[in-house]
Chain A
């Protein structure tokens, strides 16, 4: 199970990152106190809620970066209310006089525009993630609108499909559980699955069913699919981990858990645990810890002039981040660094996870 060399290596990387962090921290301390008080902007995170694990981890990442950079950090929570989200940001802009860096996951797509406009007007630097209207571009708000980050659903759907196919030996039947039909993520991830299927003619998609992102629906669906296809099902592709875990419980009720591999997206704890026990073949995560910290890092580095947003290439302004794959090979390491402890990320590596410009 455990990859000893991998673990040692990861330890070394962590120590190096830690030392770099310590050096930067000492450098910051060495600066005159008055200067710091004048120049240091406030870091602001704007997210939807703290009651879902995804945004809770996002906040941890943001706090880790703020601590590393030695900056003040404030978290604003919109509670799913767009107006509250925007009003809170405007209040923060007024309070800091525009001397702030905002990393925002706008509650809804249209929210991004008023947020960006308010920040540009006040002279603050902003990074948005996931949601923005298609006609809103960072380059139109130079230099304040630094970047917009998303994660490529097609790539996620394709990656997990390929790992599933490899796990079942490159041939046989699979069933797929899709998300709510109308959502972008569901459509994109299915496209990824279709692309992987096209490249692997020996894999047969027995059926594609929709379980609306929910484990409960996936549980019932999976039972029915087992009746229809029985032992022909060699693997299960799920558009998110929650549905995958529902399918897993349906398998468990039939003593099939671990015999039919499952793949999913999100990296929720249940799925990570299942990857460890071999019941899931893999899951991918956008890594909210990285999103929370790096969004602030990109904005802050633009603010202090480490780079000029105007001179950055388009794929640094609107880009897909690299999703983190959690599979049998790295799950123990992932568990150790992300579940048991806080992850170590090199906050100076601003563009390390850029996989390309966002498709238009």
Chain B
């Protein structure tokens, strides 16, 4: 870390550094772009994966924190940039360096009103286009009269904006169109059987061939980040179940780890093991559902029932221990809600016994089918470079040959002691994404096998103060959800609720990449590709 700091200090004398979890570089806005370019392109550093952009309102200034990861060394670094102009805040865009930055900057603009100069598509992302105010600013007026519930149709426009600076350095707003004149635009969604939730693809087609897709999000935006700012830390946990509801355990685990790290709480080994068991069971259930719904999207309805059989068995196990089949709300800060059910070990062993036969059946019914092969092979190819540039993680990223499993790159909890393989493929097509998930079920089962016979005894809840206050500071935690890398950022001012809680979901990136990989394919391929990416809409909308 020190030599990185020296190197950057030499190149950018105006940068200041803060030590912390990761090295934090303070940089003035003018130098941001060249710093990012250096960090990304330098052979030694190669911070080529933009994990997230955290928009921030520090009251006296507005700004962003960029989290970068090197795919070569797995090192992390963060960059902080701010502006004191609250009236017309503007920062330099890095959308030309990382393709995902375009969407992430739109999100920051939506919540903080910070305009990114050079971003090709500076629209709102989640809120509707007539929304007044920027909700995550600390001076946001929450008066409902300002933004009444509309009973009219939402105003729609094809206009998008690009901000540039003229010679004097003033902001210039240029209007451009999302679609070309005369494009045949089909609305796929928000109510559509194959978008897996209320997501809307505005699809410009030429016959059956897709010309461009405008992903329109926000139909299920609930402002989780804003809500969390007014809740105590234990209360914020409940929202994690409602993001990606198939990785509810994983997300809970992630936020708990972040808070525990900040508060310095040690959790017992029993809790660690239980949490990992639950994470991996969730992963199997989630991938089973993926296989079923994906086959259904392709027209093979029967497969759904075969995969739901396994998922149902897992949900029964969950129900016995957690008391719920969805939104489990199981992990707590410092522990878990209840101890394992007496039947847990027996039930899990029964599950492990049926998994191999089921996977064999899935392969027999679907994977080897000639029609399935024709539909999936070579469809929606995502190269490794694009996967990194778009930050497509999880099984989808690994299918493109990018080893991005946080369980391996940044092992958390007890994953470093476990023996499992990171499943990767090189094809990057829909078939590879499908097969990666199928193979991950086997790996998760293998992890569970190692743990199920030696769950240690111990406390299930560490001692946690009744009123939990985190010391002032900021923390960032990454963890592997079922669909990719889930990041959570907490900034605390020493109070009982977070000053800022930012969630970096994997599904936002998955939806952002759809336009890139469907161009020139058929409408039917959009369904194949969207299904194979396996995004969850509440996760991207938050």
Chain A partners chain B: no
Q: Which residues of B contact A (CB under 8 A)?
A: none
